[in-house]
Chains A and B, each alone.
Chain A
Amino acid sequence: MTPGIEHFLTVGALLFCLGLAISLSKRNAIGVLMGVELMLNAVNLTLITFSRFAASPNPVSGHTFVVFILTVAAAEAAVALALAVAVYRNRETIDVDRLNLLRS
Chain B
Amino acid sequence: MLFLAAEPSAALTPTIDQAVLWAIMGCPLAAWGLIALYLRKLPAIAGYAAILGIGAAMLLSYVTLFNVIDASGGVAQYTREWFTAGDLTVPIGVRVDGLTAVMLVVVTTVAFLVQVYSTGYMQGDPGYGRYFAHMCLFTTSMLGLVLADNLFQMFIFWELVGLCSYLLIGFWFHKPSAAAAAKKAFIVTRIGDLGLLAALLLVWTRAGTFDVTAIQEWAASGEAKSALVTLFALGLFAGAAGKSAQFPLHVWLPDAMEGPTPVSALIHAATMVAAGVYLVARFFPVFEASPDAADVVAWVGAITAILAATMALVQTDLKRVLAYSTVSQLGYMMLSLGALGYVAAIFHLFTHAFFKALLFLGSGSVNHATNTFDMQKMGGLRKHMPVTYWTFVIGSLSLAGIFPLAGFWSKDEILLDAWRHDRALWAIGAVVAFMTAFYMFRAIFLTFHGTYRGGEPVDHHDPDNHFHGDPAHPHESPWAMKAPLLALAIPSIAAGWFAYDHMFKDFIEAALPHEGHHGSSFEIGIAVSSTIIALAGIGTAYVIYIRRWVDSSSIRATFAPFALVFERKYFLDDLYEGLFVRNIFYRGWCRLLETVDRRIVDGVVNGIGQVGRAASSRLRAVQVGEVQSYGLGVAAGVIIIFLAVIVANPL
Contacts and interface: CB of A to CB of B under 8 A. Distances in A.
Contacts of A103: 623-626
A97 B631 contact: no
Contacts of A32: 628
A80 interface: no
A99 interface: yes
A24 B628 contact: yes
A99 B623 contact: no
Contacts of B624: 100, 103-104
A24 B628 CA distance: 5
A46 interface: no
Contacts of B625: 100-104
Nearest 3 CB-CB pairings of A with B: A103-B625, A100-B625, A102-B625
B406 to A, nearest CB: 88
Contacts of B620: 104
B632 A24 contact: yes
Interface of B: 620, 623-628, 631-632, 635
Nearest to A27: B628
6 contacts: A20-B635, A25-B628, A100-B624, A102-B625, A103-B625, A103-B626
A24 B626 CA distance: 10
Interface of A: 20, 23-25, 32, 96-97, 99-104
A100 B635 contact: no
Nearest to B632: A24
A97 B632 CA distance: 14
A20 B634 CA distance: 11
Contacts of B626: 96-97, 99-100, 103
A104 B617 CA distance: 10
A95 to B, nearest CB: 11
Contacts of A25: 628
B623 A96 contact: no
Contacts of B628: 23-25, 32, 96-97
Contacts of A96: 626-628
A99 B627 contact: yes
A99 B627 CA distance: 8
B interface: dominant SS: helix
A99 B624 CA distance: 11
A84 to B, nearest CB: 13
A104 B623 contact: yes
Nearest to B619: A104
A37 B431 CA distance: 112
A24 B623 contact: no
A20 B637 CA distance: 14
B251 to A, nearest CB: 65
A32 B632 CA distance: 13
Contacts of A100: 624-626
Contacts of B623: 102-104
A46 to B, nearest CB: 15
Contacts of A97: 626, 628
Nearest to A25: B628
A89 B635 CA distance: 31
Nearest to B620: A104
A96 B630 CA distance: 12
A25 B627 CA distance: 11
Nearest to B622: A104
Contacts of B627: 96, 99
A102 B620 CA distance: 12
Contacts of B635: 20, 24
A98 B618 CA distance: 23
A27 to B, nearest CB: 9
A79 to B, nearest CB: 15
Given A97-B626, A103-B626, A104-B625, 16 more contacts: A23-B628, A23-B631, A24-B628, A24-B631, A24-B632, A24-B635, A25-B628, A99-B626, A99-B627, A101-B625, A102-B623, A102-B625, A103-B624, A103-B625, A104-B620, A104-B623
B134 to A, nearest CB: 62
Contacts of A24: 628, 631-632, 635
Contacts of A99: 626-627
Contacts of B631: 23-24
Contacts of A20: 635
Contacts of B632: 24
* Max chain B C-beta neighbours (<10 A), residue from A20, A24, A96, A97: A24
A23 B630 CA distance: 11
B641 to A, nearest CB: 15
A76 to B, nearest CB: 15
A32 B623 CA distance: 20
Nearest to A99: B627
Contacts of A101: 625
A20 B632 CA distance: 9
B297 to A, nearest CB: 76
A76 B455 CA distance: 100
A33 to B, nearest CB: 12
Nearest to A98: B626
A25 B628 CA distance: 8
A103 B631 CA distance: 15
A101 B627 CA distance: 10
Nearest to A102: B625
A80 to B, nearest CB: 12
Nearest to B621: A104
Nearest to B616: A104
A103 B630 CA distance: 12
Nearest to B624: A103
A11 B425 CA distance: 115
Nearest to A29: B627
Nearest to B626: A100
B460 to A, nearest CB: 70
A25 B635 CA distance: 13
* Max chain A C-beta neighbours (<10 A), residue from B625, B628, B635: B628
A101 B625 CA distance: 6
A102 B627 CA distance: 9
A25 B620 CA distance: 23
A65 to B, nearest CB: 20
Contacts of A102: 623, 625
A7 to B, nearest CB: 20
A54 to B, nearest CB: 18
A63 B346 CA distance: 105
Nearest to A17: B635
